[in-house]
Amino acid sequence: MNIIVCIKQVPDTAEVRINPETNTLIRDGVPSIINPYDTHALEAGLQIKERVGGKVTVITMGPPQAETALREALSMGADDALLLTDKAFAGSDTWATSYTLAKAVEKLGADIILCGKQAIDGDTAQVGPEMAEFLNIPHIAYIRKIEEVKADSIRVQRLMDEGYDIVESSLPVLLTVVKELNEPRLPSLKGKMAAKKAEIKKMGPADLGADENNLGLKGSPTQVKNIFAPEAKKDRKMLEGTPEQQVDRLIQELRRLKCV
Ligand SMILES: Cc1cc2nc3c(=O)[nH]c(=O)nc-3n(C[C@H](O)[C@H](O)[C@H](O)COP(=O)(O)OP(=O)(O)OC[C@H]3O[C@@H](n4cnc5c(N)ncnc54)[C@H](O)[C@@H]3O)c2cc1C
């Protein structure tokens, strides 16, 4: 079973601040971590490998320093790591990111692709499903339990607003996972030592056979106009009660304010 886990290196958002004058993120001195959801995706990949055998490869698209995230994943037990890094990838929006990652998956070949449900910095939750579309394979989002893995199919529980769905899919499939799925393991000392020396493969656009027009800023249909910290509004009200009572109270409140 070939398992690919997509991990993103993100700033530890507990410490991220926005410069109010330039409206840009203050990244200086902010530590980087593996996107927390992706550590759950990696744990799922490792558990599938332990159940049915196979190989776990972690991939990331990012600047050269994203290698640190890959080494951390190797120390947790991943077998192989691939860094997609090149100036041509800079400025990628979710569309260009998904295209680039999908090209790498095509190159490596995979039965199961695992992603986090979302990245804690970009927060769009688009990359997993978009990759599946590029690869023309099914995807199942918000996985909270993997019930069964067979050579050609998988059965999972997908988290819903109230309860969960049981979904079965053929392979290859792309899954995005939530934190309820598992408890990520800690790296072992042996794993850390091996990860330090491990070779991290690197690929650029030519290695992927990627169309340069689809990469980076050039290939990104989304344009960021502005980033700003939302204004803190002092006038707020918490609505208590069951969801139904809260809706009733919200409607009363909107009527009182003559909004409806
Ligand atoms: C016009 C524009 C320009 C941008 N320029 C830059 C830039 O120069 N530098 C920059 O860092 N960001 C840039 N971004 C942000 C970048 O597009 C997103 O961070 C990226 O596409 C992932 O989206 P997300 O963070 O919302 O991930 P989500 O869709 O929320 O992530 C879901 C999952 O997808 C996987 N995933 C996401 N990103 C990666 C990745 N890079 N590698 C491996 N797996 C991944 C992970 O498993 C993650 O849990 C730009 C965005 C826009 C719109």
Interval 81-104: pLDDT, tens: 999 999 999 999 999 999 999 999
How far are the Cα atoms of 135, 206, 220 from residue 103, in angstroms, in the given order? 8, 11, 16
Confidence of residue 16 (pLDDT cuts 50, 70, 90): low
Task: Please indicate, yes or no, if residue 242 is contained in any of the structural domains.
Answer: no
pLDDT at 26 over 90: no
Task: Please indicate, yes or no, if residue 228 is contained in any of the structural domains.
Answer: no
Window from 58-67, 118-127, 139-148, 225-234 with minimum mean pLDDT: 225-234
Residue at 107: amino acid letter: K
The CA-based diameter of the chain, rounded to the nearest angstrom, is 66
Task: Please indicate, yes or no, if residue 258 is contained in any of the structural domains.
Answer: no
Contact (Cβ atoms closer than 8 angstroms) between residue 58 and residue 74: yes
Task: Please indicate, yes or no, if residue 64 is contained in any of the structural domains.
Answer: yes
**Closest residue by CA, ligand 1 atom 38:** 8
Q: How many domains does the chain fold into?
A: 1
Task: Please indicate, yes or no, if residue 244 is contained in any of the structural domains.
Answer: no
Task: Please indicate, yes or no, if residue 232 is contained in any of the structural domains.
Answer: no
Task: Report the percent of the chain where pLDDT is more than 70.
Answer: 97
SS3 content of the chain, % helix, strand, coil (to 5): 35, 25, 40
**Closest residue by CA, ligand 1 atom 15:** 93
Contact (Cβ atoms closer than 8 angstroms) between residue 81 and residue 74: yes
- What confidence score (pLDDT) does residue 234 get? 74
Q: Which residue has the higher pLDDT, 24 or 200?
A: 200
The alpha carbon of 87 and the centre of ligand 1 are apart by a number of angstroms equal to: 15
What is the CATH number for 191? Answer: 3.40.50.620
Which structural domain range is residue 111 located in?
2-214
Q: Which whole number is the average pLDDT over 146-155?
A: 97
Task: Please indicate, yes or no, if residue 53 is contained in any of the structural domains.
Answer: yes
**Closest residue by CA, ligand 1 atom 53:** 93
